[in-house]
Amino acid sequence: MSQSPGIVSSRFLVLLAGSGLLLVGGLIAAVLFRSPVGAVIAAVCVIGAWFVSALLAVRYRDRAKLLSLASKADIRSVIEKVDETRAKESRHEYHQERSLHRIENSLRRVHVLSAGGIDDVEESELDILFVTSNGAGLGHLSRLSAIAKQLPADRSIEFLTMSTAYEQMADSGYTVHYFPSGGAVGEPPEVWNPMFQWYFQKLVHRLRPRLVVFDGTWVYKGITDVCRTFGISLVWVQRGMWRRDVDENSVQRHNARSVVDHVIVPGDYAGTETVDVGKGIDPHYVGPVVMTESHEIVARHEACMALGLDPNGKYVLLNLGGGSISDPDSIAHEAFALLRENAAELTPVQVVSPLAELGECTDGLIRVSAYPVMRYAKAFEAMIAAAGYNTAQEAVSMGVPSILVPNLNTITDDQSRRAHLLSERGLCWAVDESSDMTAAIKLLADPDERRRMRERLDEAESPSGAVEAASIVDDILRHSEWPKRAVTLDKRGG
């Protein structure tokens, strides 16, 4: 590159020194020689010094300008070359990425097809295959069941679930396939994932579904690979209200296009939520999803009879999930004891998971096992329950005054946030580790407080999420039918 204008040569310094000497010599001549000759010598020296200085200033000013222009030209040239190189690299990386993506899809297809010995995919027979992860209970299965019920009656539907409560779907009218989760069989992901993918691709090849709808917090690689190999659209029903740390660290949730084709986010009475699913997908937001519809709720007398309860009694439903009432350290034990102490007129009725045996019952407690239990909501004056998505939405939509107790051990679901947001809206009483269960149960035991709570619950909007989600799923399914429009006209003889 060119020399910087701030750097001067040795010649410049010599000439500058000479100019100084001429100036000093002229001054000395003017002092020592007080004659016309001395005055002339002094004038010549001063003029010479000025001339040399002016000459140097002009010369090096022009040189500095030239150097400056040269430097700017060099900088522009370098910048242009950098930009040009960067553009070439970007185009190269783009084409390379596209090529790698095509190679990856080809390899995925080869891997899936070769693993199952499948050469061709026949025409679809099943409309929709609903798939759920195991989760911590029946939540995923209940949400998809609610959506399935709202689909047109002529749609063919089957379920694949990893919930060990799959037998509760025996009376659903759907074919249900069960594959044990890694946690249920004690297998690590590196063992379980290939086995699940093998099973799933066999099932998909046999059923030939046109659409797969998945409900869970993590889309298994086997589901994505098999669906993309066979060209099946994949929908992710993604319950909201995630824990903030889990949400921030979820690669899939914020790059959903890498694993699915569509995202449906069920609403929550606790508040609306916007999810950043990344580029390439516009998520569908629907209302709260509940499994039990208003017309399915059984009248109080029939509900009591179905559960084996005396219709003349008053009952409060305990649905706190894990933890035995006989365990003094459990929240269920605390709630039961405080109910006996502060609400003697209300008989506690505990919902026992379909996965558990009823066992021996504590004095003063009634145990029932029913799914879905909220069909019998009219049998209860109130409810004390965990603040999971399904329970919270059904408590609000069915107008049941409830104490919601967050389960702080869930991995993804932010139950504490849900419970407190609902409490702020006056739609429940929220209790957590820092709250007083006694005060909440005293409110629940007061008939006037329960009445006021019901009045607020009656103002909540109807849960429209299942209907809206079913409409979206059906639209996606109808759109997938366009390849059937392909026709062939036989060549006619002349």
**pLDDT tens track for 256-280:** 999 999 999 999 999 988 999 999 9
Q: Determine the CATH number of domain 126-289+470-479.
A: 3.40.50.2000
107 versus 217: the higher-pLDDT residue is: 217
Beta-carbon contacts of 313 under 8 Å, excluding residues fewer than 6 positions away, are: 304, 347
The reply to whether omega before 372 is within 30° of 0 (cis) is: yes
Q: Is the pLDDT of residue 6 over 90?
A: no
For residues 404 and 383, give the distance between their C-alpha atoms in angstroms, rounded to a whole number: 8
Q: SS3 for 205?
A: helix
pLDDT of residue 96: 56
Q: Which residue has the higher pLDDT, 248 or 87?
A: 248
Q: What is the pLDDT of residues 180-215, one digit of tens each?
A: 999 888 999 999 999 999 999 999 999 999 999 999
pLDDT, tens only, 348-391:
998 876 555 555 677 888 988 888 889 999 999 999 999 999 99
**How sure is the predictor about 491, in pLDDT bands with cuts at 50, 70 and 90?**
confident
Distance between CA 40 and CA 275 in Å, rounded?
Answer: 92
Higher pLDDT, 66 or 5: 66
pTM above 0.85, yes or no: no
Mean pLDDT is lowest, of 77-91, 316-330, 433-447, for: 77-91
Cα 194 to chain centroid distance, Å, stands at 25
Query: Smallest Cα–Cα separation from 335: which of 402, 417, 422?
Result: 402
In CATH terms, are 126-289+470-479 and 297-462 the same topology?
yes
- Output the six-digit token pair for 183: 């946690």
213: left (phi over 0), alpha (psi -120 to 50) or beta: beta
Average of pLDDT values for 309-336? 85
Per-residue pLDDT band at 438 (split at 50, 70, 90): very high
Token pair 């396939």 in the structure block, residue: 177
**40 has pLDDT over 80:** no
Region class of 278: left (phi > 0), else alpha (psi between -120 and 50), else beta: left
Tell me how far apart the alpha carbons of residues 360 and 80 are, in angstroms, rounded to a whole number: 82
Residue 111 has pLDDT above 70, yes or no: no
Among the residue ranges 226-230, 313-317, 409-413, 422-426, the one predicted with the least confidence is 409-413
pLDDT at 486: 79
Q: Are 243 and 221 in contact (CB under 8 A)?
A: no
Q: Is the pLDDT of residue 173 over 90?
A: no
Describe the strand order of the beta sheet including 366-368 as a list of residue ranges.
366-368, 347-351, 315-319, 382-386, 402-405, 429-430
DSSP state of 493: P
pLDDT at 115: 47
Q: For the chain, give every domain's residue range.
A: 10-105, 126-289+470-479, 297-462
Task: Check residue 64 and give its pLDDT.
Answer: 58
Q: How far from each other are the two terminal CA atoms of the chain, in whole angstroms?
A: 80
Q: Which fold has domain 297-462?
A: Rossmann fold (3.40.50)
| Residue 93 binned pLDDT confidence (cut-offs 50, 70, 90) | low
Average pLDDT across the chain, whole number: 83
At residue 127 the predicted structure's pLDDT band, cuts being 50, 70 and 90, is very high
pLDDT over 80 at 122, yes or no: no
Res. 2 pLDDT band, cuts 50 70 90: very low
